[in-house]
Structure 1
Amino acid sequence: MKNKYFIFTIIIFMGLIAFNFNKVVTAQQSNNLLIIPPDSSQTTSTPTILPTPEIIPPNIKNINIDDLKQSLVINEIKGRYICQNIGGCPNIDKKGETEITIKSAIITGISNDSLNIKIFDINYDVDLTDAKILRSQWIGTDLNNFSNGDIVNVYGFLDENNFHLIHAQTVRNMSLYKNLVIFNGIISNPINNTFILKTEKNDDINVIVNNDTKIIKVESAACIMIYPPVDCPKSIAHLISFNDLKNDDRAIVRGNWENNSNHFIAEQIIVGNDGREFFNKKLDIQNNVKNQESLREQIKNQIKNLEEQIKKLREQTKIQSSH
């Protein structure tokens, strides 16, 4: 009797185990059916930028410490973005405006009418169409005097559809300090860390390159798999050496005159082409040089003709005196 009871107990126990096991398997199968593979269309990709960008060290000479403290302020001055998302709020304009004030951003790219800047590891495109462009002392300047690595303050408005695009009202370049001198021209005879910069005003500037000079080559950039669009610069820059400079290279040269000398000590030399006006407009410098050479040749010919005429007159004088 006891054996029968024992066998019956084992059968019931095994039945319970089998029932629970089936429940576990069923639950696992159900859970597996609920797992949804990630949508590949939702994955993000970073752009491949050609050529590869390089970080240019910031140009901070003669900038006060307080002016190097970064600041980013975004303030909605008309309307409320949250209200727009829920269909509007009472007494609020449908179209809002969001102002942005940036202090001490670093220029990472330059083109003909825009900048790429970075602050707190956030990238912004800056539209300069309506912007006043200023030096540090609030004097007007233009984009041809800018360099990658410059420190800028920007005030403007965020684009309504792209919060990484700023429509600038003012851009103040803190790296263009009071006594910084800037020349644009063509490089001639680069040798032994010196060259002649021929400017559009027909000036020949004796430029000296030292160990502190940054020589920057700029060029247009192409992006592949762009996401998000703000991470795609319009131009990039990288450092090069003096030996990379060539005759007839267009160059923006920034620096100061050497004391008691006619030599110009370069702080930054920008060559290449990032789309700015200077790198693309027609220059008369080459024509001026050719005209000067032609004028010298004409003067030499005139002197030669005069010498021949003088020689003939002397010969005639000798003949007359002999008679």
Structure 2
Amino acid sequence: MEENYLLAKWLNNDLSATELAEFEASPEYATYQKIKTHSAHLEVGAFDGDQLLNKVLKEQKPAPKVVALFPKWLFRIAALFVLSLGIAYTMYHFVSQTTTAGYGETATLELPDHSKVVLNSGSTIAYKKWQWDTHRNLKLQGEAYFRVAKGKRFEVATSLGKVTVLGTQFNVKARENRFDVTCFEGRVKVNYKDQQILLTHGQSVTFENGIANNSITTESSPDWLQQEIAFHAEKLQRVIAEIERHYNVTITLKNVHTTALFTGKIPTKTLDVALQIIAKTYNLKKSKVAPNKIIFEGK
């Protein structure tokens, strides 16, 4: 401890003459003297704190790592979901809604204003839900019965003609070159080419080859809704076509040459009865060569 005390005083040149003589006589003095001599030549530059700070600030800092709260794939799924909803909304409101009744079937649908439509076999109807309350327009292929709720103009367009109503019950049939309209309630306006006819309750009109034929009905709805097909002075070929459509069968006429017109009713639920009526009426031989294929042959 004493030695360290003297060393400190010696380095600061604070030793008395007696202490200096005693320190120089110590065995370690020569070593201390060499250290002091060499260290006197060392120089330490001045410390510049501002310069060091600027240097640190100028160093490129690594960009902070951002941790996503949700993975990217989740956002992709959400985007696809929103896109799907948009497409579904567009399809539902802007694209035509189509309903078809296949052969041997009927189809019932309710429109946005609660109007009812019943499609007969082999018929199709199309409409758009967008702004339906002010644009009640439909396109029909085949035959359909309508019970229209009161409201704006209700229009049924076919390839042969157009029917316009406000609120009523009516039947429209457009097949090949024949256009039939029957009004069961209220009034309907029928447009066929350049002709326009107004029908009221119980009135019917048939356009064929440009000729209009009017008739009266006492029925409250079409016969086909009661599982019957009513014909009045109808050609055999048209009667056969209706049976094929309602029963989803194919009927072939062989050696049948007749111009006799058929008036009566054909059931739409029992094929054998329907075929027997035709066979007896026209004196034909019936052959069933397959479950859905029938041949009528003249006797």
**TM above 0.5:** no
- If asked which structure has higher relative contact order (CA below 8 Å, sep 6+), I would say 1
Bigger CA radius of gyration: 2
Q: TM-score range by the shorter chain?
A: under 0.3
